[in-house]
Amino acid sequence: MSQVIDPAIQAAVQSLQDPQTGKTLASEKAIKNLQVEGGDVSLEVELGYPARSLHADLQKQIIDTLRAVPGVRNVSVTVRSRVVPHAVQRGLKPLPEVKNIIAVASGKGGVGKSTTAANLALALDSEGARVGLLDADIYGPSQPMMMGVSGQPQSRDGQSMEPLENYGVQVMSIGLLIEADNPMIWRGPMATQALEQLLRQTAWQDLDYLIVDMPPGTGDIQLTLSQRVPLTGAIIVTTPQDIALLDARKGLKMFEKVGVPILGIVENMAMHVCSNCGHVEHIFGAGGGEKMSRDFGVDYLGGLPLDIRIREQADSGRPTVVADPDGAIAQSYKSIARAVAVKVAEQGRDYTAKFPTISVQNS
């Protein structure tokens, strides 16, 4: 027999809002196990995205809201996050041990894509997710330096490679398998095959998200990867500059053509704040990323400043999110990471694991 709950308590519960999305928790089906015994109320909240930094404030908001209901004395609230696998392109299956793969891409180089990918991976980790980072830039791998990892990956079974780990993030890159000064003089098919091996022969360990730092551009390698890698979605990184936006549009259209949802646009180097006087200047233009998001009907995830500290911290192997976790720039990365995770949570779920494998045998 279902429990009859006081209408005033029910109304208060129905009014509770998700601080990240602004939607009601009830509409997101995040309210679990609501129990009322006399003046005691208990419930659980299960968010579909990692948001450790929001849990305490959300818990307090719920307690304050319910205690305001006449007759309610004690309120017990548990807030947690649970990330589940979501659907990928038609004809592909998610990787074992990886719930969701997110491509971070740009139409051209030099827009800060790799720095953004590293900081987003670290931001998701700081919010409580298990995260991996695959450096898919065969010709210019930079993630080993940015993430402060070095040395050859080891193999426990002779068939797969163990990812290196730093700051809680699992990392794999072709840069870990070659000498630092050796150029990769490979044609497209060889590079694509190498990347697929890196992706599938790395022993990723129970990842909620694998961030793939894609090679810049929209050529054969990028197209083949977007067709063969089981992607939950893609993030487009651009600067406000017109020529960067022109190429970013091509990258966005490439993902659309192969059925990969666009999670949103990140505008890097959106403005420069003078370290001496605080004057804000839009060196590469203003509002380009927001206009592009409106033109294509996708989310504008946020803008990041042109700041020397981002470059210095990445070069030193301690990206901003770990070098200055409480700083304004790190908070911007975390806000973008939560927005990305929400967009992933809104995608259709993956149900392939629920279907039995059917084999046909001659008898």
d(CA 318, CA 126) in angstroms, rounded, equals: 14
Ramachandran region, residue 130 (left: φ > 0; alpha: ψ -120 to 50; beta: rest): beta
Ligand-binding site membership of 266 (annotated): no
d(CA 36, CA 33) in angstroms, rounded, equals: 10
Ligand-binding site membership of 71 (annotated): no
φ/ψ (deg, to 5) at 282:
-95, 85
Token pair listed for 301? 């995830």
**Taking a C-beta distance cutoff of 8 angstroms, is the pair 111, 303 a contact?**
no
- Residue 140 half-sphere exposure toward CB, CA atoms < 13 A: 9
- Residue 197 half-sphere exposure toward CB, CA atoms < 13 A: 12
Three-state SS at 300 = strand
What residue ranges in 280-341 does DSSP mark as E strands? Answer: 280-281, 300-303
Ligand-binding site membership of 108 (annotated): yes
Q: Of 337, 287, 273, 279, nearest to 118 (Cα)?
A: 337
Q: Which residues contact 327 (CB under 8 A, 6 or more apart)?
A: 320
Per the DSSP assignment, residues forming a β-bridge with 100 are: 209
- Which pairing describes strands 164-166 and 169-173: parallel, antiparallel, or unpaired? antiparallel
What residue ranges in 207-346 does DSSP mark as E strands? Answer: 207-213, 233-238, 262-267, 272-273, 280-281, 300-303
Ligand-binding site membership of 288 (annotated): no
Q: Which helix (H) or strand (E) holds 44?
A: strand 40-47
Q: Of 30, 39, 134, 40, nearest to 82 (Cα)?
A: 30
Ligand-binding site membership of 109 (annotated): yes
d(CA 82, CA 130) in angstroms, rounded, equals: 11
Ligand-binding site membership of 113 (annotated): yes
Ligand-binding site membership of 23 (annotated): no
Ligand-binding site membership of 107 (annotated): yes
* Helices and strands in the chain: count of H runs, count of E runs: 11, 13
Binding-site positions:
107-114
Binding-site positions for ATP:
107-114
